[in-house]
Amino acid sequence: MSVQHDPVQRADFDQFMVPNYAPAAFVPVRGQGSRVWDQTGRELIDFAGGIAVNVLGHCHPALVGALTEQANTLWHISNVFTNEPALRLAHKLVDATFADRVFFCNSGAEANEAAFKLARRVAHDKFGPQKCEIIAATNSFHGRTLFTVSVGGQPKYSDGFGPKIEGITHVPYNDLDALKAAISDKTCAVVLEPIQGEGGVLPAEQAYLEGARKLCDEHNALLVFDEVQTGMGRSGELFAYMHYGVTPDILSSAKSLGGGFPIGAMLTTNELAKHLAVGTHGTTYGGNPLACAVGEAVIDVVNTKAVLDGVKAKHRQFTSRLQAIGEQYGIFSEVRGLGLLLGCVLSEVWKGKAKAVLDAAAAEGVLVLQASPDVVRFAPSLVVEDADITEGLDRFERAVAKLVQG
C-alpha cells in the first residue's frame, strides 16, 4: 500500500528550510545498490555513500529485512529498560574489538561528546579537576555540538557561538614533536582520527599513532580514536586502529554503523566505563531497538573476510584508475587513503576547485564528495559491484575531461 504524498520540489528547500545547507539542484528519490534516481528518473552512480554512511549501498536486503522485522516488533521502550537488539549489537561490537563496554547514541557527534565527557570524568575522578586538557589535531572534525566542534580543529565551524569550551589545544596532524611539546600531566586525552576525513582524507603515519599511544601512557592521558568515518570496514579492517595495530582507550563509531539508519556508539574498557555511573550521562533514543537491529545486520555483513578482502581489492581498482585519470588530465597530484575512503588531492592549477569537480561529476551521472576545497573524496559502498566501479569511473573521467577542456 503506497501513500499519496503532496508534490515537493527543490525550490521548497529555499522556502522552508533553515539555510545552513546548499543542496544539489536535483532531489534523489530512490536508491538501489550503488545507484540512485532523482525526481526526473535520471540515474546516478553513488560514490559518495551518503558521506561514508551507506556502507552497504542503498536498500540492502539484509538491512531492509532487519528494519522491517523490528518495525513490526518494537520501536522504542526508553532506557528505563534494555532491549534485545541493543544487547546483541553490544555483544558483537565487544567480541570484535578491544572494548568491554558500549554506550549507544544517535550520531557521531554524540559518540564523541560521550567520549570526551568520559575522558574528563575519568581524569577528574582519578587525578582531580586540574587534569582536564584535551589535545586534538588541526583540521580535525569531531561533530557539531559545542563541545565536539571546539575539539575539532577548524575555527570556521566553531567561531561565532560565544565563549568556547576551555582546555582544548590543537597541534598539527602527523607531527609527533608538536604533540610531545603540547602534552603534560594536565592532559586528560589526546583525540585523533586515524584518517583525517573532512580535513582531506589524510591517513596517520604509523609512527605517529604509535608515538601518541606511548605519550598518553607516559602522561596518564587517554587515547581517543574518532572512527566515525573510518570505522565499520571502511579501511579494509573492521576499524582502522586494527590496520595500525594501535589500540585506543576510547573509540567512537557512527556513520557506517547504521548503514544509513542514525546510530552512534562509544566503545571503551571496563576500567574506564565504571566512571559513567548511573545518572552521569544519557540519551533518550540511544540504543533504540530499530537502530540496533539495523546495526546488528550491518556488522553481520561487514565483519566477514569476504567483504573486508573485497574492500582491499576495490581499493586497488579505484586507486589505479584514479591515478591514471589524475596523470592524464593533470588534475590530481596524489591519490591517498585506506580501503574505500579515498582522497584525490587536486594539483596546484586545480587547488580550491573540488566543488567544481563534484558538480561536473554529478552532471555526468556520478556522485562524489569533497574533503576540503582541495580534495575530491570517494566513500562508496563497501560492496559496490565491479560493473558500477567501471561505469562510475568512466563517467567521472568524462566529467574531468570536460572540465579540463573548459
Q: Contact, 24 vs 11, CB < 8 A?
A: no
**Residue 352 one-letter amino acid:** G
Q: Contact, 220 vs 195, CB < 8 A?
A: no
**Residue 128 one-letter amino acid:** G
* Distance from C-alpha of 181 to C-alpha of 196, rounded to nearest angstrom: 21
Give the burial class of 13: count Cβ atoms within 10 A of its Cβ; 0-12 exposed, 13-18 middle, 19 or more buried: middle
pLDDT at 99 over 80: yes
* Confidence at residue 329, expressed as pLDDT on a 0 to 100 scale: 97
When pLDDT is cut at 50, 70 and 90, the band that residue 226 belongs to is very high
What's the whole-number average pLDDT of the chain?
97
* Distance from C-alpha of 393 to C-alpha of 391, rounded to nearest angstrom: 6
pLDDT at 32 over 80: yes
* Confidence at residue 23, expressed as pLDDT on a 0 to 100 scale: 95
SS3 state at 134: strand
* Distance from C-alpha of 202 to C-alpha of 192, rounded to nearest angstrom: 12
**Residue 277 one-letter amino acid:** A
Calculate the CA dihedral of residues 226, 230, 236, 237 and round it to 10 degrees.
20
Q: Which is nearest to 157 in space by CA: 201, 118, 204, 109?
A: 109
* Residues above pLDDT 70, as percent of the chain: 100
* Confidence at residue 406, expressed as pLDDT on a 0 to 100 scale: 85
- H-helix or E-strand spanning residue 46: strand 43-46
Mean pLDDT of 119-124: 98
When pLDDT is cut at 50, 70 and 90, the band that residue 211 belongs to is very high
pLDDT tens by residue, 361-402: 999 999 999 999 999 999 999 999 999 999 999 999 999 999
Mean pLDDT of 215-243: 98
Q: Contact, 228 vs 111, CB < 8 A?
A: yes
* Confidence at residue 3, expressed as pLDDT on a 0 to 100 scale: 82
* Distance from C-alpha of 323 to C-alpha of 386, rounded to nearest angstrom: 18
Strands 222-226 and 250-253 turn out to be parallel
Mean pLDDT of 50-76: 98
* Distance from C-alpha of 115 to C-alpha of 107, rounded to nearest angstrom: 12
pLDDT at 1 over 70: no
* Distance from C-alpha of 308 to C-alpha of 148, rounded to nearest angstrom: 30
pLDDT tens by residue, 137-173: 999 999 999 999 999 989 999 999 999 999 999 999 9
C-alpha cell at 393: 569511473
When pLDDT is cut at 50, 70 and 90, the band that residue 120 belongs to is very high
pLDDT tens by residue, 246-286: 999 999 999 999 999 999 999 999 999 999 999 999 999 99
* Confidence at residue 2, expressed as pLDDT on a 0 to 100 scale: 72
What is the set of domains in the chain, with CATH numbers?
Answer: 10-59+305-405 (3.90.1150.10), 74-302 (3.40.640.10)
Q: Count of CB atoms within 10 A of residue 272's CB? A: 19
pLDDT at 313 over 90: yes
pLDDT at 97 over 70: yes
Mean pLDDT of 8-15: 96
* Confidence at residue 367, expressed as pLDDT on a 0 to 100 scale: 98
Mean pLDDT of 169-181: 98
Give the burial class of 9: count Cβ atoms within 10 A of its Cβ; 0-12 exposed, 13-18 middle, 19 or more buried: exposed
